[in-house]
Amino acid sequence: MINTSGVRTVCAAGAAVVLMGSSAPAEAAASHGGLGPSARTAVAVGYGGAVSSVDPDATEAGMEILRSGGNAVDAAVATAAALGVTDPYSGGFGGGGYFVYYSATDGRIRTIEGRETAPAAMREDAFLDKDGEPIPFAEAVTSGLGVGVPGTPGTWEYAVDSWGRKPLARVMRPAIRLADEGFVVDATFAEQTAANQERFADFPATARLFMPDGRPPEPGTVLRNPDLADTYRAFVREGAAVLDGDIGAEIAATAADPPVNPDSARDVRPGLLTAEDVADYEVIERAPSHVEYRGLDVYSMAPSSSGGSTVGEALNIMEAARDQAAYSTGDTADTWHLMLEASKLAYADRNNYVGDPDHVDVPLRTLLSQDYADERACFVDTRTAQQAPVAPGNARDGNGCTAAGLPSDNGTEGPSTTHLVTADHQGNVVSYTFTIEQTGGSGITVPNRGFLLNNELTDFEFEVADNGAGAANLPGPGKRPRSSIAPTIVLRDGDPYLALGSPGGSTIITTVLQLLVDRIDRGLTLPEAIAEPRLSQRNTPATLAEPGFFGTKEDKELTARGHTFTETREIGAATALEFLGDRRIQAAAEPERRGGGHAAVLRPQ
């Protein structure tokens, strides 16, 4: 483990919007540096390197760095920095995340934990009121109390300094240009702003930045963020040490005493962050999670994220149950039944055991062991669904067939976040997921700095349940809240085969699991697996399912086995790479979810 330290222009402080009338978004972007929504491509195949993200401008930022001779790490940070401009409600400078890197030089997987940390003054009862009851969740979200110390600046610096080829100044250049010149607002950005309009209006700096004329920007307009460009320039000059000075002090001051519109009726709770908390932040290089599945090596994030351990445990349980049942992999209902049953069991263990390993004892070796999964599979009936929620296994004693107590809940992670994947001609690969938690984070922008603060500390459990559940993920000084982020790299015979991930809060795990199952077990192509209707079973009585699932043969067969489904609009927004052999790469993104993503390769075939 390693620690590191006619055109009408409407202007307002820190922002400008150019209203392009009926001009096409691509035409608007042409004079302002952005590609625009019309440039989206869901699948690209070729050579020399690849980038896939949720946004064309961000993907192009990564591609620019690859074209200049940068590697996958440089491209990943460039893409992420650009997403901080164009997808600021999902991730950015004021948040954190998890970075998974495959090095072609030595064939090793390395990971960076850039998860936000709690202030030194935070105690277990931080989210309880004077009567000892949990405060309303919405109050915790839109508050200084939910703001953790950002880990994104440290992640970007550590990745580029440790494994990149280009200086930070070159890596950040596309994002700085994009923030200065602006990007074309698409329908998703406009909808997300509108959904947050009432909240954003309560914070003057946020309203000026994202609603400069008092309302959400229309699709096709160009949004600039010169304050963020200046913040990025300071980051280029100072690296993560920028948080030791004025910017770090301003982050702390904004969280400790959020600047609220004096006309607002919102009660915004103050936070506990200090400048010392921000300056003391360190990213951690952790060993990855790892399981073997059907002859492949699946690597992801270890705790404090529950992503890698839960996906890994579910895969191991599926392997065990399939062997016991002698299932073929050709039947979709059979495969998905095992996936849903394994997911229930893995989530039961996740909710009971996973937290920040620097503060709680996480039995990670057991959770990832095939022996333990073989025992957990004793609960799987290949024809009949278990009634969820199911109990956790006794991972402390390594006994998966013995219940270790009553079930815990999944926590309250927001469905936002953003994911990207990159690769280069040398064979290096990055899978990176980062976030500010809720869509729009805390809703609080650091004045004159151009970025929103996270509300990641709401990922902590607010209290321990009567049955003792939730203790592993209570708040604590310097503690990292449990996450579900699961950036994943799969190796086949030691070489990269797949790289993938998704946003979606606690549904991240099920999205990654289903992508792996649909690609590996069902034999769908990568684009087909991404487009397939998704299911999300998180040890709850009903399984979430997207609209396209209902009325299918699988719906009928799984319902007959005792599964219950509840409809939800969409689950996740994946980006992924597949390495096809002969140096060919397939980059894939969502064709529709969240408005569609954008995939690109350096040299199309």
Residue of 354, 332, 397, 358 lying closest to 561 (CA atoms): 332
* 151 residue type, one letter: G
Secondary structure (DSSP) of 480-511? PPPB----EEEEETTEEEEEEE---TTHHHHH
Residue of 28, 24, 7 lying closest to 183 (CA atoms): 28
**Residues contacting residue 496 through CB under 8 Å, at least 6 positions apart:** 102, 423, 427, 429, 489, 490, 577, 579
Rounded Cα gap, residues 261 and 269, in angstroms: 14
Tokens of 529: 């697996």
Given the residues 231, 366, 417, 439, the one annotated as active site: 417
First to last CA, the chain: 41
Beta strand 543-545 with 418-424: parallel, antiparallel or unpaired?
Answer: unpaired
Rounded Cα gap, residues 101 and 393, in angstroms: 32
CB hemisphere CA count around 408 (13 angstroms): 28
Q: Is the dihedral of CA 136, 141, 147, 150 positive or negative?
A: positive
Q: Is 417 a catalytic residue?
A: yes
Tell me the H-state helices in 24-167: 25-30, 56-67, 72-86, 137-141, 152-163
Rounded Cα gap, residues 562 and 176, in angstroms: 53
Place of tokens 């004159």: 448
Q: Residue 93 gets which letter from DSSP?
A: T
**Cα of 202 vs its chain's centroid, Å:** 27
Tell me the H-state helices in 287-406: 307-325, 332-353, 364-367, 370-376
Q: How far is CA 310 from CA 290, 305, 317, 344, in A?
A: 11, 9, 10, 10
Tokens of 51: 């980038």
Q: Which residues are paired to 445 by β-bridges? A: 452
Rounded Cα gap, residues 110 and 105, in angstroms: 12
Rounded Cα gap, residues 573 and 502, in angstroms: 5
Rounded Cα gap, residues 491 and 297, in angstroms: 5
Place of tokens 């140096």: 583
Q: How far is CA 102 from CA 431, 487, 490, in A?
A: 9, 12, 10
Rounded Cα gap, residues 557 and 36, in angstroms: 43
Three-state DSSP class for residue 435 = strand
| CB of 113 closer than 8 Å to CB of 314 | no
Task: Give catalytic residue positions.
Answer: 417
